[in-house]
Amino acid sequence: MNERKDIVNIAVIAHVDAGKSTLVDALLSQSGVFRQNEAVVECVMDSNDLERERGITIYSKNCAIEYNGVKINIVDTPGHADFSSEVERIIKTVDTAILLVDSSEGPMPQTRFVLQKALEIGLKPILFINKIDKKDQRAEEVVDMTFDLFADLGATDEQLEFPILYGIAKEGIAKRELEDESVDLTPLYDQILEHVDIYPNRDDEPTQIQVSALGYDDYIGRLGIGRITRGVVKTNQVVTITKRDGQVQKGKISKVFVNEGLKRVEVSEAYSGDIVVLAGISDISIGETICDVNTVEALPLIEIEEPTLSMNFIVNNSPFAGKSGKYVTTRHIKDRLDRELETNVGLKVETLEGADGYKVSGRGELHLSVLLENMRREGYELSVSKPEVLIHNVDGKKEEPFEKVIITLPDQYSGTVISKLNLRKGVMESMGTENDYTKLEYLVPTRGLLGYRSEFINDTRGEGTLVRTVDGFYPHCGEIPRRNNGVLISQEGGTTMAYSLFNLSERAQLFVGPSVEVYEGMIIGMNSRKEDMTVNPCKNKKLTNTRSSGADDAIKLLTPKEFTLEEALEFIESDELVEVTPDAIRLRKKILNEGDRVRLGRKK
């Protein structure tokens, strides 16, 4: 039986890499959630393999701890701009947010975004200055910068009087003053309970829950996740649902779950203030309100952010199709995308006319490449076109998405980066230098940033950081220069030979090594010139009686460039595709045969 407890809900919000998931780990382990003999994983909330590998949070997650008899529900939110729609909805279900800021970096663009959302709905955040053990920490200065940020974002006087804690999330330490001798997170737990009122007991009122996130379970189907604003929710309760389009329908809740520690526990009833997971309503969606049958009151709808980028997911028709993937047909791809739509609200899927495939739109390159990477690991095989920006027509004028870009880089590289961003139609908003580092703020069309990341890493020798967030739609800004180099295209299928690759490597950067299977139309390298060049990488040296096979020196080849999925998507042009399979990422021309490509070029 689930007894009524005092409840407080908190979200941990911050910029990427500020230590959100690490802090949640520490809160969990110090609250006695793990048994003595239980193995504790680092970043336990990043449960998906991809999240672990990349060290980022993609899906927001809930867990619960108890402190002094109060149940504290904790929500860990993503920091990347592409998942901003997640952050926005989650903040609506909590009483306060812990804003994490790095003690040396200070507030970053994404900090601004998440804080703005929290302040808009009237939350009073707690500031946690993390990583105070860094050599270059400047905690006092960062507090002032954060105060200015609050003021900039129009915080009320009450919101400006935020409590400040200092700490090291990795070691599970929080302090009220920098000099304090604290060994654990007790000051943070105490501060939460002092700063936030317990959720009022509204159990006697009619039920009302707004769905702020979705889940999916293979056995019980779609799950609605949200906070009980008032009333009690019971198993088998009949309810009324107000839909996104204003319609009202009846439904029945088949199961009710709440969080205890990291586990989802089934209960017969849950009380006002708690975050619950409900099963039984198969077509529930974000922002819809579940109400008592006799009292239908819808809460204001939650806006879902518009997609900014689209790609075509096409059935793989290369000569290597079906060699490594289990799921290769349109039906397989459609089923998988439909399943993704169950929980991924920022996504839009439309059928492509005249091709076996779908146009998939999302919030950014990362949003879509995470979906692709997940599909690839599950055994799907498909071809993907170049990402395209979604253009809006407003009163007959074209508008496109722009992003705010903040760059920190060593002074000596700033000239190159400034001229590249200006070429890409970027507008500089501010520039400052400190300790041999330059900080640039730009507004750049999303189109201009496609394919820029790898160039940026090369230009700054890997020492620059580039952070971007979608800022909004602005008037279309005309032509933007494309990739300067052509590619090497394989003329025939076969196995690559070191001899021919060695000859090609003098005028191109290779993407394949020797003894690799290739097919006609596959891209095997980048030409040093503008034109595409069709070559034969499978040719070997002819032997004659005057030349024996061992007469030449051993051939030394440079290591070929290997692409990650994001790099491949950034690299390709509109007449090229990325072939995504469970064991390889290949680049290819849309039209594989050279003769066909030439004929099409003439027609154009």
> pLDDT value at position 404?
85
DSSP character string of 186-201: HHHHHHHHHHSPPPP-
Q: Name the residue range of residue 524's domain.
A: 487-544+553-577+586-603
The enclosing domain of 231 has a CATH number of 2.40.30.10
Candidates 407, 383, 494; CA nearest to 456 is 407
Do 162 and 65 share a structural domain?
A: yes
Do 147 and 25 share a structural domain?
A: yes
Domain contains 189: yes
Q: From the CB of residue 304, how many other CB atoms can be counted at a distance below 10 Å?
A: 15
Q: Is 84 annotated as a binding residue?
A: no
Do 269 and 248 share a structural domain?
A: yes
396 close to 384: Cβ distance less than 8 angstroms: no
Using the structure block, give the residue that is written with the tokens 């599970």.
172
> pLDDT value at position 551?
52
Domain contains 370: no
> pLDDT value at position 359?
92
69 close to 4: Cβ distance less than 8 angstroms: no
Domain contains 298: no
Long-range contacts of 582-587 (CB under 8 A, 24+ apart): 582/324, 582/325, 582/376, 582/377, 582/379, 582/380, 582/381, 583/324, 584/324, 586/318, 586/320, 586/522, 586/523, 587/487, 587/511, 587/522, 587/523, 587/563
Q: 479-534: per-residue pLDDT in tens?
A: 887 778 889 999 988 898 888 888 888 888 899 988 889 999 999 999 888 888 89
Q: Is 21 annotated as a binding residue?
A: yes
> pLDDT value at position 523?
92
Do 148 and 16 share a structural domain?
A: yes
Do 152 and 39 share a structural domain?
A: yes
DSSP 463: -
Q: Is 19 annotated as a binding residue?
A: yes
Q: 469-481: per-residue pLDDT in tens?
A: 777 888 888 888 7
Do 223 and 120 share a structural domain?
A: no
- Domain end position, chosen among 291, 312, 336: 291
- Extract the residue ranges of the chain whose pLDDT is less than 70: 1-2, 15-18, 31-61, 76-88, 109-110, 543-554
Domain contains 398: yes
- Angle of helix 452-459 versus helix 414-423 axis, rounded to 10: 160
> pLDDT value at position 41?
41
Do 173 and 41 share a structural domain?
A: yes
The enclosing domain of 17 has a CATH number of 3.40.50.300
pTM reported for the whole predicted model: 0.74
Secondary structure (3-state) at 526:
strand
DSSP character string of 46-99: --SHHHHHHT---S-EEEEEEETTEEEEEEE---SGGGHHHHHHHHTT-SEEEE
Do 62 and 169 share a structural domain?
A: yes
Q: How far apart are CA 369 and CA 372, in angstroms?
A: 5
The terminus-to-terminus CA distance of the chain in angstroms comes to 72
Q: How far apart are CA 280 and CA 249, in angstroms?
A: 13
> pLDDT value at position 199?
85
Query: Max CA-CA distance within the chain?
Result: 99
> pLDDT value at position 334?
92
- Domain end position, chosen among 133, 164, 195: 195
Q: How far apart are CA 271 and CA 249, in angstroms?
A: 23
> pLDDT value at position 578?
93
Q: Is 329 annotated as a binding residue?
A: no
Secondary structure (3-state) at 423:
helix
Do 159 and 111 share a structural domain?
A: yes
Helix, strand, coil percent content, the chain, rounded in steps of 5: 25, 35, 45
> pLDDT value at position 117?
78
The two beta strands, 6-14 and 96-102, are parallel
> pLDDT value at position 108?
73
Domain contains 93: yes
Q: How far apart are CA 45 and CA 67, in angstroms?
A: 20
Q: Is 133 annotated as a binding residue?
A: yes
Q: Is 17 annotated as a binding residue?
A: yes
Do 590 and 510 share a structural domain?
A: yes
- Domain end position, chosen among 143, 161, 195: 195
Using the structure block, give the residue that is written with the tokens 């279309």.
476
> pLDDT value at position 57?
44
Total domains, the chain = 4
Domain contains 329: no
Q: How far apart are CA 305 and CA 200, in angstroms?
A: 31
Domain contains 527: yes
